[in-house]
């Protein structure tokens, strides 16, 4: 599955459905499901790092605007692209070695499908907002 590393606390905000726009300085043509991986660094409190936290769907990518700031949880900056996320599904976290850009990750072998690895939406207590 395609994956992208996101620093904390933003990775947990995405997993909790509280951040629906990820920003990058590069455009992507990719549309579809993407695994959100919490970067190993920096460590922020007790938030998980070095782990896959959720699956989201990239539905659009465009230049970031001032109107995107609330959903992106950051101010617009020069060269920023807004990656529009939807259908965010928290999963049972598992270790992933992060990389730059979009990269491939295999879901753990003990899971036959993504659905078996998904958490119930009610289990969002690991998000501190």
Q: What is the pLDDT of residue 110?
A: 59
How many CA atoms are closer than 13 Å to the CA of 47, on its beta-carbon side?
25
How would you classify residue 112: left for phi > 0, otherwise alpha for psi between -120 and 50, otherwise beta?
alpha
Q: What is the mean pLDDT of residues 99-114?
A: 75
Give the CATH superfamily of 2-114.
Hypothetical protein. (2.30.130.30)
3-class secondary structure, 22: strand
pTM of the model: 0.82
Nearest Cα neighbor of 71 from 60, 91, 53, 46 is 60
Judging by DSSP bridges, how do beta strands 81-95 and 21-24 pair with one another?
Answer: antiparallel
Q: Which token pair is 84?
A: 């529009």
pLDDT at 81 over 90: yes
| Model confidence pLDDT, tens digit, residues 83-94 | 999 999 999 999
- At 41-55, the pLDDT tens digits run 989 999 999 999 999
pLDDT at 124: 37
């Amino acid at each position: 599955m395609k994956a992208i590393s996101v620093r904390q606390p933003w990775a947990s905000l995405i997993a909790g459905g509280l951040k629906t726009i990820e920003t990058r300085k590069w455009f992507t043509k990719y549309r579809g499901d993407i695994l959100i991986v919490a970067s190993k660094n920096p460590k922020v409190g007790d938030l998980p790092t070095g782990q896959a936290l959720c699956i989201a769907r990239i539905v659009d990518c465009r230049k970031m605007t001032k109107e995107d700031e609330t959903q992106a949880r950051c101010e617009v900056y020069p060269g920023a692209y807004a990656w529009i996320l939807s259908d965010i599904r928290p999963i049972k976290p598992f270790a992933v070695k992060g990389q730059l850009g979009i990269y491939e990750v295999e879901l753990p072998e003990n899971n036959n499908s993504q659905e078996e690895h998904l958490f119930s939406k009610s289990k969002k207590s690991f998000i501190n907002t």
